[in-house]
Amino acid sequence: MICGFDYGTSNCAMGIFENNAVRLLNVDGDKQFMPSALYALGRELICEQVSHGIKAGISRDEFIALRRGQLQMALRVRNELDLIADDNVMFVGHEAFKQYFADPEEGYFVKSPKSFLGASGLRTEFMHFFEDVVTAMMQTVKRRSEASLGYELTRTVIGRPVNFQGTDAEQSNQQALAILTTAAKRSGFNDVEFLYEPIAAGLSFERQLTENKTVLVVDIGGGTSDCAMVRMGPDHIGLDDRTTDFLGHTGERVGGNDLDIRLAGEQLMPLFGMTAELKTGKPMPTKTFLDAVATNDVGALSRFSSLETGLYLEQLQRDCKEPELIARLIHLRKNKQNQQLVRRAEETKIQLSDEQEVQVMLDFVETGLSTQVTRDELRDAVDRPLERITNLMSDAIAQAGTQPDLIFVTGGSARSPVIREAVANKLGNIPLLDGDHFGSVASGLTEWANRIYR
């Protein structure tokens, strides 16, 4: 059977088409959106769980042969942790966050793996690792969906950004799509197609139009922002070939995660010594502090967790006028709480959509530790990534050679008044409409899947 699959940077969703309408399925308990996060008691156990989820046959045998070394290491991890066959060793979605927050220094936690798929210079072992992480999550979403439906899903359309990375875009896109295709096949999909996420969001929105319009679709996702200029309306919606309706599209690896990281760096890292002075009177070097919150950068995460960084922070603590602040950073690093810190920044960003000021509690680091963040401070912190996002909008309009009649904005971060202000300041007095901030892409992918596979 047919489905649309939004394997997103922040959330995953799956939809089917029934009774001439899209229905999003429950993929995380009673929720239609599953956070894109995974926690395993050991990194090697992810590979083991993937092998269990592949159907018996040639593809499973090939996978086991390809991952023989990792699977043997998984057995050793099981023995070391005294795990039995029925023990839960891997968690995804909300349960992954729950397990990570409860015991961050143990196990392996990864959030938003889609952000890494197009990274340049990935060695073979990292390619295999990301294939396994993505497959494990896809298998879970598919298995849960099929359990609720009572039948198997075998054909899908998966959303993709215009560009997974900004540099070497074509090579990056091919690498990321290869990983996603491999993961989808190992999850049991026989037929896999891809559709640009802003176009999918636009297809969902188009049903609301009663007259033809030229629409700038802006999808601000967790890892990427994508824009598409599309002719829409009653004369276009029924067409199987929409090639001539797509007038321009742009995309870049900048999204909601970048806003969270910038907010964490600007407003939370000072609590860990980033703006403190050294005893020499010189300003504090900021690179290590920024590495701590760069949760979408494999290199930064590796540097922050390295032995060299541990030794460097001990020296920095001795050199700092406020050594207790560096001690907090050492504590954060030792307990692997940097992902939790960025998560708290994300929650603050969301709260500031409705409030002018938020008290950010960081009790997981130190009892009573907190700070105030205002909407104006959020605006200042995210100024640079927001400028990149609004420039994408201008570029899409320039490609099309015409002005949009209206702007349709979707994606989780699009709720923020700060983003809406930036769009208005950049593009002027063009009507701006909201969609389903989380479900537009999944709905559009489902509609397209029903159209091409029917």
pLDDT higher than threshold 90 for residue 181 = yes
Mean pLDDT of all residues in 423-430: 88
Measured in degrees and rounded to the nearest 5, phi and psi for residue 396 equal: -65, -40
Tokens for 67? 């991952």
Would the pLDDT of 84 be above 90?
Answer: no
CATH homologous superfamily, domain 2-189: ATPase, nucleotide binding domain (3.30.420.40)
The pLDDT value recorded for residue 289 is 97
> Of the given ranges (151-160, 205-214, 276-285), which has the lowest mean pLDDT?
205-214
Q: Is the dihedral of CA 339, 345, 347, 349 positive or negative?
A: negative
Domain ranges in the chain are 2-189, 210-255+384-435, 257-373
Burial class of residue 101, CB neighbours in 10 A (0-12, 13-18, 19+) = middle
| Residues 6+ away with beta carbon under 8 Å from 17 | 2, 23, 446, 447, 449, 450
If you classify domain 210-255+384-435 with CATH, what class do you get? alpha beta
Provide φ and ψ at 97, rounded to 5°: -65, -40
2-189 and 210-255+384-435: identical CATH topology: yes
- How confident is the model over 227-248, as a mean pLDDT? 88
**Cβ distance 247 to 215 under 8 Å?**
no
Asked if residue 167 has pLDDT above 60, the reply is no
Closest C-alpha among 195, 179, 136, 240 to residue 3: 195
Average pLDDT of the segment spanning 176-198 = 95
How far apart are alpha carbons 76 and 78 in whole angstroms? 5
pLDDT at residue number 168: 67
Q: Calculate what percentage of the chain has a pLDDT beyond 90.
A: 70
- pLDDT at res. 201: 87
pLDDT band at 437 (very low <50, low <70, confident <90, very high): low
Compute the mean pLDDT over every residue in the chain, rounded to the nearest whole number. 92
> Taking residues 274-293, what's their average pLDDT?
95
Mean pLDDT of 227-231: 92
CA angle at 84 for the pair 82 and 89, rounded to the nearest 5°: 85
Q: Quick one: which of 227, 320, 239, 234 has its CA closest to 273? A: 320
Q: In what order do the strands lie in the sheet with 90-92?
A: 90-92, 37-40, 108-111
Q: What pLDDT, in 10s, does the model give residues 358-401? A: 999 999 999 999 999 999 999 999 999 999 999 999 999 999 99
- For residue 148 the two structure tokens come to 């609720």
> pTM of the entire structure?
0.84
CA distance 415 to 256: 11
The pLDDT of residue 436 is above 70: no
Rounded Cα–Cα distance for residues 416 and 259 (Å):
11
